[in-house]
Amino acid sequence: MTTVNVVSLLLIIGIILVMFLEKLDGRDEVIGTKLRIFNSDKEEWNFPNFFYILLIYGIIAIRFIGLGNIPGGFNQDGAMGAVDALALAEYGTDRFGTWLPAHFTAWGYGQMSVLLSYLTVPFIKLWGLNSVTARLPMLIVSLAGASAVYRIVKELFSTKAATIALLFLAINPWHFMQSRWALDCNVFPHMFIIGLCFLIIGMRKKYGIYLSMIFFALCMYSYGVSFYMVPTFLLFAAIILLLAKKVTWKQLLIACAIYFGLAFPIYGTMLINFMKWDTVSLPFVTMPYFKDSIRTNDMLFFSEQPFRQLLANINSLIRVVFLQKPDLIWNAIDDFGTMYQCSIPLVLVGIGITFYNAKHEKNLEKKTINKMLLTYWGCSVFVGICINSVNVNRINIIFYSHIIFAGIAIYYVVKKWRSIALVFFIIYSIQSALFFNRYFTVWADQMEDIFYEDFLDAVEFAGNQECDYYYITPDTQYEGSANVSEILTMFAQQIDAEYYQGKTNQYRGAQISYADRYRFKNPEMEEINAEQKTAYVIKSENLSNYDLNLFKVKRFDNYCVVMPAQYAEW
């Protein structure tokens, strides 16, 4: 894979260097061969209509392959969002009983954004809670984000340029991977890019400005860093639009009213927690106070040594985004990164082209779009610097801008030298073929352990036995991680929120309270009882603690379900 990356990178750098040398030389030749240069006002190359149909079908189809099974298992944060979505679907509360919360309590010490869970509710209502319904909303908003990229590039250049950007997005590792597992913060970039798309449309059709405010407001319910990103971007965007006379003060005030009208509950929640006020409950939303929050520790502004942390943050941003060094395995696959390691020169060229067009473009509307793209990118970099030790999902807001920039660069090169399109096609065909092969094979196998597939299977099986008591190992994420074991159990067994809260003691064949029935601990020897209908979900390595003459075992690779033989019906 290293050889493929190096060759791909050298080819792309070579193409870029030749293009700039030709530009500086004032000639239109490559290796002595005269090639057509396309006039930007009249392009002479077209994609057939069926190509667009195949492209859209391909983007959708490949993202649906094995959606419920790959990645195997389920991430603990995604499981928590799904459990809260189930509670919302059934009772209009989170699993703790908070009515329509603007922000989730989640782990208690660390909170969670709510938008993905609210988006999951209709799918749970239709088809129940499972890995597909929990992941489907993320996939759908990812496809909506892809459509927004297409429309933005089309507004900026042409249908051809938009198609190239969409092709690049179709095989982009980051866009593909994040669309297939349910993590709340990954909704943020999609809401933002859709908002940006409508904002651009709004320069000609004013309803677009008002629609954009809906999606920018939804960003605030997607990820905490949106509080640094979205208001900053909107401030600069307002200045750009006012100077370009693309928006009036009246329209700006209406847009602000829409944005704050929809976002005030989450702003109120942040203010309540900053001021340490009591929870505020309204008929349509709850703005909760979290006394044990530690989330501010993730931000530069709250660091004990801000200058040292700033340097560390810049280093992390460069490593993760521009050098594409190895990250968390569920965010990016080594050797491929977020957008293939050979693509960064194209991103840098695209940034340069956008800077040039922002200054020299004669069409005022397109000039304004270029400025907003740069503002979007600059605000994304700002976010990356503000977050301590950034990783891929924490800086997810930047990747749509990089996809657009790379698409712009490829468009400019192909527009100048049509035959170079074959080189790009070969490079990215090889890269994407290797990526998808790794994703659906080696990576998929690795993720089964990382996303607790064996544990979830064991807990689900145990739940179907409708036992009086459950002892469930806390050694999942790490030794003693009872919180993780509990939330994964709630997901696998779809535990009723009111049963969890203690409002009812009747659930799954027993009349025992949740607190008494579920024990997230490794049982002591005296707690192992062959006469009681109890299921023990344990790590396979601890099986020697059980007398197999008295107990029956169901194995799930790294985990086992152990039950008294007289009650085991398998």
Which pLDDT value is given to residue 501?
A: 96
Which pLDDT value is given to residue 367?
A: 96
Beta bridge partners of 528: none
Beta bridge partners of 536: 471, 562
Distance, in Å, from the CA atom of 400 to the CA atom of 417, rounded to the nearest integer, reads 26
Distance, in Å, from the CA atom of 168 to the CA atom of 403, rounded to the nearest integer, reads 7
Count of alpha carbons within 13 Å of 476, Cβ hemisphere only? Answer: 30
Distance, in Å, from the CA atom of 499 to the CA atom of 477, rounded to the nearest integer, reads 25
Provide the 3-class DSSP secondary structure of residue 337: strand
Whether 142 contacts 190, CB under 8 Å: yes
Neighbouring residues of 554: CB distance < 8 A, sequence distance ≥ 6: 458, 461, 560, 561, 562, 563, 568, 570
Distance, in Å, from the CA atom of 562 to the CA atom of 543, rounded to the nearest integer, reads 8
Whether 387 contacts 313, CB under 8 Å: yes
H or E segment and range at residue 535: strand 534-539
Q: How is residue 511 written in tokens?
A: 């009349």
> For residue 163, which of 246, 54, 275, 251 has the smallest C-alpha distance?
54
Task: Give, in order, the Cα–Cα distances in Å from 476 to each of 183, 241, 456.
Answer: 19, 51, 10
Q: How do beta strands 518-519 and 469-472 pair?
A: parallel
Q: Report phi then psi at 209, rounded to 5.
A: -65, -45
Which pLDDT value is given to residue 41?
A: 42
> For residue 259, which of 241, 279, 233, 285 has the smallest C-alpha distance?
233
Q: How is residue 123 written in tokens?
A: 């799918």
> For residue 338, which of 351, 349, 327, 350 has the smallest C-alpha distance?
327
Q: How is residue 77 written in tokens?
A: 């944060």
Which pLDDT value is given to residue 34?
A: 39
Which pLDDT value is given to residue 349?
A: 95
* Positions of the chain with pLDDT lower than 50, given as ranges: 28-42, 44
Q: How is residue 383 written in tokens?
A: 């976010």
Which pLDDT value is given to residue 37?
A: 35
Q: What is the pTM of this model?
A: 0.93
